[in-house]
Structure 1
Amino acid sequence: MTLQRMDNVGIVVEDLDAAVAFFTELGMEVEGRAQMEGLFADQAVGLDGVRSDIAMMRTLDGHGKLELAQYHAPAAIRDGSHNPPPNTLGMHRVMFAVDDIDDTIARLRSHGAEPIGEVAQYKDIYRLCYLRGPSGIILALAEQIG
């Protein structure tokens, strides 16, 4: 038995429509939206009384996917820090390759994105930056320059 693929990365958000708009601006597209509730959702997630809305986002090449979920019940839980720093244990960052990092940052700022540091250049190969998006999500952007 072998692993077939990595299917998607799931991210819980406070405002699903705002997160969809943010990732659409980044260049992803909505593959589908659904409401998840009932016994199946409870069993799969391991919580009782699950009621959530999800949006599956995909990159234009169809290989990368994000599942954005807004929980209505039980309510989403904050771990104490809405904006954890990039060195926090656990999964908290998603990286995207972009054609123009400056243009991407400018477009995402209109959706509330804020750079965490600054755009840094790694040799003559990449320009990289971290920024914070909806619900405190950390995005890394990489522009290949060489």
Structure 2
Amino acid sequence: MALKRMDNVGIVVEDLGKAIDFFGELGLELEGRATVEGEWAGRVTGLGDQHVEIAMMRTPDGHSRLELSRFLRPSVVADHRKAPVNALGYLRVMFTVDDIDGTLERLRNHGAQLVGEVVDYQGVYRLCYIRGPEGLLIGLAQELG
């Protein structure tokens, strides 16, 4: 049996509203919000009794989704948001944008901070990492030429 697709990437946040605003400014569209709780959900995650607020954000091309989750129950048990890019198991999300400078300017208004600098990769891409809401690591890429 062949893999069909990747449905989404999940990120746990403390402030769901700020995360929605940030990723909305980046260009993702809020597809929907919901609360997930109950015995069935805990069986899937292995967390038992859980209560989670989620927001599903969709990329403009409709092919990718970002699931933002805020756990009400159980409490968050670990925090990897400030880990460097070379930390084992750490995830970052990379987005392609049409104007990296303009995107950075808009996202700075939502608290984004440049990690290093914007670099040119062999005349093919301009790339950078930023820290978004709650210190989340996000990559931005602009295709050149």
TM-score band, normalised by shorter chain: over 0.9
Residue 118 of structure 1 aligns with an amino acid whose one-letter code is E
| Structure 2 CA distance for aligned equivalents of residues 82 and 11 of structure 1 | 10
Shift of 1:54: 0.1
Residue 40 of structure 1 aligns with an amino acid whose one-letter code is W
Shift of 1:41: 1.2
RMSD: 1.1
SS at match of 1:103: helix
Residue 68 of structure 1 aligns with an amino acid whose one-letter code is L
| Structure 1 CA distance for aligned equivalents of residues 7 and 134 of structure 2 | 22
Residue number in structure 1 paired with 2:47: 47
Residue number in structure 2 paired with 1:128: 127
Is the Cα contact below 8 Å between 1:130 and 1:138 reproduced in 2? yes
2:20 corresponds to 1:37 = no
Aligned residue pair count: 145
For residues 17-52 of structure 1, the C-alpha deviation after alignment (integer angstroms, 9 at most, x for no partner) is 100000000000011110000111111111022011
Distance change in 2, residues 1:77/1:136 (3 Å)? farther
Question: What's the TM-score once normalised by structure 1's chain length?
Answer: 0.95
Residue number in structure 2 paired with 1:72: 72
Is the Cα contact below 8 Å between 2:22 and 2:110 reproduced in 1? yes
| Structure 2 CA distance for aligned equivalents of residues 61 and 119 of structure 1 | 25
Residue number in structure 2 paired with 1:83: 82
| Structure 2 CA distance for aligned equivalents of residues 48 and 123 of structure 1 | 49
Shift of 1:82: 4.2
Residue number in structure 2 paired with 1:98: 97
Shift of 1:2: 1.1
For residues 57-87 of structure 1, the C-alpha deviation after alignment (integer angstroms, 9 at most, x for no partner) is 00011001000000011111234x5411111
Is the Cα contact below 8 Å between 2:95 and 2:140 reproduced in 1? yes
| Structure 2 CA distance for aligned equivalents of residues 65 and 92 of structure 1 | 15
Is the Cα contact below 8 Å between 1:92 and 1:137 reproduced in 2? no
Residue number in structure 2 paired with 1:19: 19
Amino-acid identity (%) = 55
